[in-house]
């Protein structure tokens, strides 16, 4: 029998009516068997007492439910406003106590979600501020170049110089937008890294191909020490993206005729991949901050970049169960060590 359509009052009334009918039936049956009229008077008195106690029970139950409903509504309002924690009587083992326990769990869940929303809101505001700061300079330069080209007549050779400068600023904006898109897709889970067993040497080769021109331009030597048969579970495409960013930074901060080495070592739990350069090095005080989004040292402002490459590297490596460390000394170069889980192929 479904009771969802019945109120508490109606249920209690039905029970009382059933009890009265049962009592009257018993009284009539006993009178028929004994013929004693006292049974009838006693039975009616008992029925009236039963009705009175039923009315008292119904009244007390209604009051209790009314109080609980009022407390529940007030508690829920306080929880939604984030100002009130549900009160629980740990000594009371009843349905209401069980509900209170659930409310406390709900309260903590809502509190954690509210904290996460505040953190996400702060991060979003910081991201918007960083994007605004990073795009301000190239956009201002493009506006200035455009106004100069429109407002002044100049030789074709001079116009070409301005157009090359505009192209450089556009490339910077394009690189930043692409890096932000990649990072946001990784952070939000729109891109899921697919780890497959493949030679790490091929992944390194794909990353090296992206910096060959820059290496030749600065006449920087490159050496790779990696077992060609070493296969590990990793997302080849995104790992190559991470290694390219490390190599790109190494090329940027290594002077002419410098050297870059890539050394791969297989350990029991991890495969360690070192990118070693002979660049200017990173101050120890800055090493903990270089993986932050848009972070750049004050001493490298003249070097092209937006400070998102290392942040993207850390995201890619972390999402594959690995981690990254840096060791550096001023004027002696840097070693970026990538650790990827060394899962055994079945």
Instruction: Tell me, yes or no, whether 209 and 130 share the same domain.
Output: no
Q: CB pairs under 8 A, 24+ apart, for 88-92?
A: none
- Looking at the chain, the whole-number percentage of residues with pLDDT higher than 70 is 77
* Residues 147 and 274 grouped into a single domain: no
> Based on the domain organization, do 24 and 58 belong to the same domain?
yes
Q: List, in sequence order, every residue forming a beta bridge with 233; answer none if it has no partner.
A: 197
The answer to the question of residue 148 being in a domain is yes
**Where does the pLDDT of residue 10 fall: very low under 50, low under 70, confident under 90, or very high at 90 and above?**
confident
**The last residue of a domain, from among 171, 188, 205:** 188
Q: Is 332 found in the same domain as 225?
A: yes
The larger pLDDT score, comparing residue 290 to residue 318, is at 318
Domain co-membership, 337 together with 200: yes
**189 falls in which pLDDT band (50, 70, 90)?**
low
How wide is the angle at C-alpha 30 spanned by C-alphas 25 and 33, nearest 5°? 130
Please, which residues have CB within 8 angstroms of residue 99's CB and are 6 or more apart in sequence?
72
Is the same domain home to 265 and 318?
yes
Per residue in 44-77, pLDDT (tens digit) is: 777 777 777 777 777 777 777 777 777 767 766 7
**pLDDT number for residue 225:** 93
Q: What pLDDT, on the 0 to 100 scale, is given for residue 140?
A: 84
Average pLDDT, the chain: 79
Same-domain status, 175 and 217: no
The domain of 72 spans 8-84
Confidence at 307, pLDDT banded by 50, 70, 90? low
Please check whether residue 318 is in contact with residue 299, taking contact to mean a CB–CB distance below 8 angstroms: no
Q: What is the pLDDT of residues 222-273, one digit of tens each?
A: 999 999 889 999 999 889 989 998 998 899 889 999 999 999 999 989 999 9
How do residues 90-131 score in pLDDT, each as one tens digit? 444 555 666 667 777 777 787 788 888 887 777 667 666 766
DSSP string over 296-325:
--GGGTTSS--S-HHHHHHHHHHTTT-EEE
Its pTM stands at: 0.57
| Statement to judge: residues 258 and 302 lie in one domain | yes
Instruction: Say if CB 324 and CB 315 are below 8 A apart.
Output: no
Q: Which residues contact 260 (CB under 8 A, 6 or more apart)?
A: 215, 220, 221, 222, 223, 247, 250, 251, 254, 275, 276, 277, 278
For the cut 80, the answer to whether the pLDDT of residue 166 exceeds it is: yes
Among 117-121, 176-180, 211-215, name the most confident range.
211-215
Number of domains in the chain: 3
According to DSSP, the β-strands at 231-234 and 259-266 are unpaired
The CA distance from 171 to 176, in Å, is 9
Q: Which of these three, 51, 84, 117, is where a domain ends?
A: 84
Residue 90 lies in a domain: no
- The reply to whether 242 falls in a domain is yes
CA angle 273/287/206 to nearest 5° reads: 30
pLDDT at 39: 67
Is the pLDDT assigned to residue 321 strictly greater than 60?
Answer: yes
pLDDT at position 187: 67
pLDDT at 83: 59
Q: 181 and 203, same structural domain?
A: no
Helices (H), the chain: 8-34, 37-81, 95-151, 156-188, 200-209, 212-218, 236-253, 309-318
Residue 14 lies in a domain: yes
Residues 132 and 237 in one domain: no
In 3D space, the residue among 218, 229, 249, 269 whose CA is nearest the CA of residue 333 turns out to be 249
Q: Which of 284, 226, 276 is nearest to 253 (CA)?
A: 276
pLDDT over threshold 60, residue 1 = no
Q: Is beta strand 231-234 parallel, antiparallel or unpaired with respect to 196-199?
A: antiparallel
> Is residue 225 in a domain?
yes
Q: How far apart are CA 111 and CA 86, in angstroms?
A: 12
Same domain? For 167 and 247 the reply is no
CA 128/CA 138 separation, integer angstroms = 16
Q: Does residue 112 sit within a domain? A: no
Asked if the structure places residue 175 within a domain, the reply is yes
Please provide the DSSP assignment of 69-119 as one string. HHHHHHHHHHHHHT--PPP--TT--SHHHHHHHHHHHHHHHHHHHHHHHHH
Mean pLDDT of 282-291: 82
Question: Quick one: pLDDT at residue 91?
Answer: 47
pLDDT at 90: 45
Q: In the structure encoding, which two tokens stand for residue 309, read together?
A: 């490459």
Confidence band, pLDDT 50/70/90 cuts, at residue 345: low
H-helix or E-strand containing 221?
A: strand 221-225
pLDDT of residue 239: 93
Strand order in the sheet with 270-277: 221-225, 259-266, 270-277, 333-341, 323-329
Shared domain check, 176 and 207: no
CA-wise closest residue to 193 among 324, 315, 344: 315
Predicted confidence at residue 33, as pLDDT, reads 72
Longest dimension (CA), the chain: 132
266 in a structural domain = yes
List phi, psi (to 5°) of 335. Answer: -125, 115
Q: Which of 136, 160, 188 is the last residue of a domain?
A: 188
Residue with the larger pLDDT of the pair 157 and 345: 157
Q: What's the pLDDT score for residue 57? A: 76
């Amino acid at each position: 029998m479904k009771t969802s359509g019945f109120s508490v009052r109606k249920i209690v009334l039905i029970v009382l009516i059933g009890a009265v009918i049962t009592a009257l039936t018993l009284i009539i049956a006993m009178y028929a068997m004994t013929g004693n009229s006292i049974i009838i008077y006693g039975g009616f008195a008992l029925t009236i007492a039963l009705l009175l106690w039923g009315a008292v029970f119904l009244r007390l139950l209604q009051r209790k439910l009314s109080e609980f409903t009022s407390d529940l509504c007030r508690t829920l309002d306080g929880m939604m406003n984030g100002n009130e924690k549900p009160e629980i009587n740990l000594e009371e083992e009843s349905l209401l106590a069980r509900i209170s326990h659930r409310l406390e769990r709900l309260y903590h869940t809502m509190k954690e979600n509210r904290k996460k929303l505040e953190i996400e809101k702060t991060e979003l505001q910081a991201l918007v501020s960083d994007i605004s700061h990073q795009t301000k300079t190239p956009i201002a330069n493009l506006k200035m170049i455009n106004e100069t080209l429109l407002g002044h007549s100049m030789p074709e050779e001079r116009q070409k110089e301005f157009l090359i400068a505009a192209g450089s600023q556009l490339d910077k904006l394009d690189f930043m937008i692409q890096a932000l898109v990649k990072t946001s897709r990784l952070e939000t889970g729109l891109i899921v890294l697919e780890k497959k067993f493949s030679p790490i040497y091929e992944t390194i080769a794909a990353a090296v191909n992206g910096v060959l021109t820059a290496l030749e331009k600065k006449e920087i030597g490159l050496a790779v020490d990696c077992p060609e048969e070493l296969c590990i579970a990793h997302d080849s495409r995104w790992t190559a993206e991470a290694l390219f960013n490390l190599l790109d930074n190494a090329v940027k901060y290594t002077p002419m005729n410098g050297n870059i080495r890539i050394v791969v070592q297989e350990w029991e739990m991890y495969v360690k991949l070192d990118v070693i350069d002979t660049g200017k090095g990173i101050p120890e005080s800055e090493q903990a901050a270089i993986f932050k989004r848009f972070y750049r040292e004050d001493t490298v402002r003249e070097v092209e970049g937006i400070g998102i490459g290392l942040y993207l590297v850390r995201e890619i490596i972390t999402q594959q169960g690995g981690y990254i460390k840096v060791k550096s000394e001023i004027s002696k170069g840097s070693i970026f060590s990538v650790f990827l889980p060394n899962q055994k192929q079945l």
